[in-house]
Each structure stands twice: as structure tokens, then as C-alpha cells.
A = this chain, B = another copy of it.
Amino acid sequence: MVTYAAAISLDGFTAGPEQSLENPIGVGGGRLHDWIKELTIWREAHGEEGGIVSPSSVVLENAGANVGAYVMGRNMFGGGRGPWAEDEPWNGWWGDNPPFHLPVFVVTHHARPPLECEGGTTFTFVTDGVERAIAQALEAAGGKDVAINGGSTVARQAFAAGLLDEIRLDLVPVLLGAGVRLFDGDIPAELEQIGVVEGRGVTHLAYRVSGR
């Protein structure tokens, strides 16, 4: 199964305006992630102490439970530099021990050798499109789920190609006013609501996707 998870503002944006490689989340977009940063489960995965346990903790735990590989766009891997040289030492945003601990396939225009990190995360850079990245990820996942994370470009392409099976949205009560829309224009899909969880300052929504 291929899933997409994203935090989204009540007015429909997964990132604020003036998005750039240096600030891929855009102006105000950081507010979409306030709810997750207060969770103990998130803080532990990112080497931070403290935090709280809430219904969102269970959602986050379940979301990761059956994932065998990730697909993300270049912005989520880490912008700010590029095109990458072969001797580029930088590991994106994620430091030496990224919190994935699984194969990650990065959709990008810039070829680069695979990057093995501590803790079992390997980044593979895919230059021939989203469909190919998902196919590689499904193979690497060995029967487990492939999770598409981060910005909506990759997800929109997967959605349009009919490759998404589930969408999981963290709906945040923020109005960004502008930015990157998750749903923009006609998307040939029917959705079935399969789960709703009320968190603190967030609502977790899960939808099954089928063709129209």
C-alpha cells in the first residue's frame, strides 16, 4: 500500500507562501508542525527529551508501524544547496542519524550516489520520476507500506497517476492565506473517510483513495 501523510492548514496549504530551497516550509508553515513537536514520540525520534503523550502519539505510532520504505521530494530531503556534487558531504536536514531507519527514495532532477547513514537510513536518489521512485520503494519495502512524506509535489504526481491508496492528513487550525495547496484543480479520485482522531490543536483524518 502507498500512503501519503501531510500536515495541512484549514485553508488547504501544506506549506506557506514564499517557499524556497532555504525555507521549504514557507512563511508561517512551521505552525503546521507545532502539534508534533510537543509529542514525546517525535522528540525521542529526534534526540530530544520531554514532551507529552496524546491521542496524536498513537496516530504517529500506527502511521510508522507498517512502513517499509519512504518516498520524498528533494525539498524534504533538504534544500539549500545544489545541484549536488558527487563529493557533497551534506545529508540534507537530517544529520548523521536520520529518523527514518529505512530505505528512503528521493525524487530529484540531480543524480547522486546513494547515501548510507547511521541507524539504517539509506537515501537513494531517483531521477526518472515519481512512478519509478514508488516502484523502487515498493520493491525495497518487501511487502510493507510505502509512505510518501513531505511537500505535496510528489504526492500530487502520485495522486494524479493513481498510485496513492491512502491519504492521512493532520488538519491544523491555522489559516496561512497562501502557499502550496495539496488539492489544486481536478483530481480524478474518490475518497472514503476511514478514520478521525481528535488531537491537541490538530485533527487526524484518514481517507482511502479509489479511482473515480
Interface positions of A (Cβ within 8 A of B): 10-12, 171, 173-175, 177-178, 183, 185-187, 189, 191-193, 195-196, 198, 201-203, 205, 207
Consensus secondary structure, chain A interface: loop
Residue among B11, B185, B205 making CB contact with A203, cutoff 8 Å: B205
Work out how many copies of this chain go into the complex: 2
Verify B185–A10 contact, CB threshold 8 A. Answer: no
A12 to B183, CA, bound (A): 9
Verify B177–A185 contact, CB threshold 8 A. Answer: yes
Most chain B CB inside 10 Å of its own CB: which residue of A183, A192, A207: A183
A10 to B179, CA, bound (A): 17
A38 to B3, CA, bound (A): 31
Q: Knowing that A10-B207, A173-B193, A177-B187 are A-B contacts, what are 10 other residue pairs whose CB atoms are under 8 Å apart, sorted by A's residue number? A: A10-B183, A12-B12, A175-B186, A175-B189, A177-B185, A192-B201, A193-B201, A193-B203, A196-B198, A203-B205
A178 to B186, CA, bound (A): 7
* 10 closest residue pairs by CB, A with B: A11-B183, A196-B198, A177-B186, A173-B191, A173-B193, A12-B12, A196-B203, A175-B187, A173-B207, A193-B201
Verify A185–B178 contact, CB threshold 8 A. Answer: yes
